[in-house]
Amino acid sequence: MTRFFWLGEDAAAASNQGGYIDAWHKWSLPGVHCPTCSATWSDVGHAYPCVDMSHLPERALFERARPEPFSEFARLRELVRPLAPPHATLPPGTGFGPLTGKATGRFGPVAWVEQLLLLVHPDVLSRLQAEGVEGLVSCRTELTFRRKTPPTFLELQIEPRGRLHPDCVPPEVPPPCGTCGRHGFTRPEAPILDAASLPSGVDLFRIGNFATMVIGTERFMEAAQRQKLDGITFKELPARR
């Protein structure tokens, strides 16, 4: 049976390196104000850095974070949907395009942005793929470094694939809003994965109903440890049907 691990940033390794990245994706869907549940919200963790919106005539509408009425949000979402993967749900706040911003200090073979986005050197990606890690998709970044010989980082496009088990949702929490899809519950102290929802052929993915959580398979974990990828922590999570 495949084992699954919750990935995080190794704070000690990051502190030793001293690097810091202040950057985010070039475009994003706006937040939304929902007429049904009355929530004004935006999600975090849904990002498609390989989606290029530079040829979209309305791209300027995706350059500024703001809430919009649901009707306008839905219109903008349909503009970008043909560019996104067919399975993408595209909630409010979904990011697109290359990571853009500034980086200072020194970095190891991997780097995290806001403990959410995972960056790797090109040779690290090649080594992981040579180890048999499946489903890795990488995208260029547009980071500015204050160094004569700056490193090259690629962002891994880690897509939502699995879900938390229904038992992780408190019974008093209302079901997802039928209009905007918001499901307002906090991350459980002891997360459980929904085994029936977990993908095959993909060794790195996010949790669809809690996309800030990055999950790796045992194969990814073992490959990362063999390659001595300092900067990533692993916590095994149970899976239940």
Q: What is the dihedral of CA 72, 76, 79, 82, to 10 degrees?
A: -120
Q: pLDDT category, 158, cuts 50, 70, 90? A: very high
Same domain, 136 and 196: no
Same domain, 165 and 152: no
Has residue 164 got a pLDDT over 90?
Answer: yes
Query: In terms of pLDDT, which residue wins out, 238 or 19?
Result: 238
Spatial distance between the Cα atoms of 194 and 192, rounded to a whole number of angstroms: 7
Same domain, 45 and 130: yes
Spatial distance between the Cα atoms of 118 and 95, rounded to a whole number of angstroms: 14
Q: How many domains does the chain have?
A: 2
pLDDT for position 119: 97
Q: pLDDT category, 230, cuts 50, 70, 90? A: confident
Same domain, 214 and 145: no
Same domain, 34 and 45: yes
Same domain, 66 and 175: no
Same domain, 147 and 208: no
Given 96, 127, 156, which residue is the final one in a domain? 156
Same domain, 36 and 152: yes
Mean pLDDT of 137-147: 92
Angle at 197 between CA 192 and CA 199, to 5 degrees: 110
pLDDT for position 169: 92
Given 121, 136, 156, which residue is the final one in a domain? 156
Please give the model's pTM, rounded to 2 decimal places: 0.93
The tens digit of pLDDT for each residue in 188-227 reads: 999 999 999 999 999 999 999 999 999 999 999 999 999 9
Q: How far is CA 81 from the centre of its chain?
A: 18
pLDDT for position 148: 78
According to DSSP, the residues that pair with 142 across neighbouring strands are 100
The tens digit of pLDDT for each residue in 21-55 reads: 999 999 999 999 999 999 999 999 999 999 999 99
**Which residues lie below 8 Å from residue 95, measured CB to CB, with a gap of 6+?**
24, 25, 27, 28, 46, 47, 48, 49
How large is the greatest C-alpha to C-alpha distance in the chain, in angstroms?
55
The DSSP result for 135-152, as a single string, is ---EEE-EEEESSSS---
Range of the domain at 105: 20-156
**Which residues lie below 8 Å from residue 141, measured CB to CB, with a gap of 6+?**
23, 49, 98, 99, 100, 119, 153, 154, 155
Same domain, 84 and 133: yes
Same domain, 175 and 152: no
The tens digit of pLDDT for each residue in 47-103 reads: 999 999 999 999 999 999 999 999 999 999 999 999 999 999 999 999 999 999 999
pLDDT for position 120: 96
pLDDT for position 19: 86
pLDDT for position 233: 95
pLDDT for position 160: 95
Same domain, 178 and 196: yes
pLDDT for position 1: 74
φ, ψ of residue 120 to 5 degrees: the values are: -140, 155
Spatial distance between the Cα atoms of 149 and 141, rounded to a whole number of angstroms: 16
Angle at 200 between CA 198 and CA 203, to 5 degrees: 90
Same domain, 186 and 102: no
Spatial distance between the Cα atoms of 140 and 149, rounded to a whole number of angstroms: 17
Has residue 135 got a pLDDT over 80?
Answer: yes
The tens digit of pLDDT for each residue in 105-132 reads: 888 999 999 999 999 999 999 999 999 9
Given 124, 156, 188, which residue is the final one in a domain? 156
The number of CA neighbours under 13 Å toward the Cβ of 222 is 11
pLDDT for position 6: 97
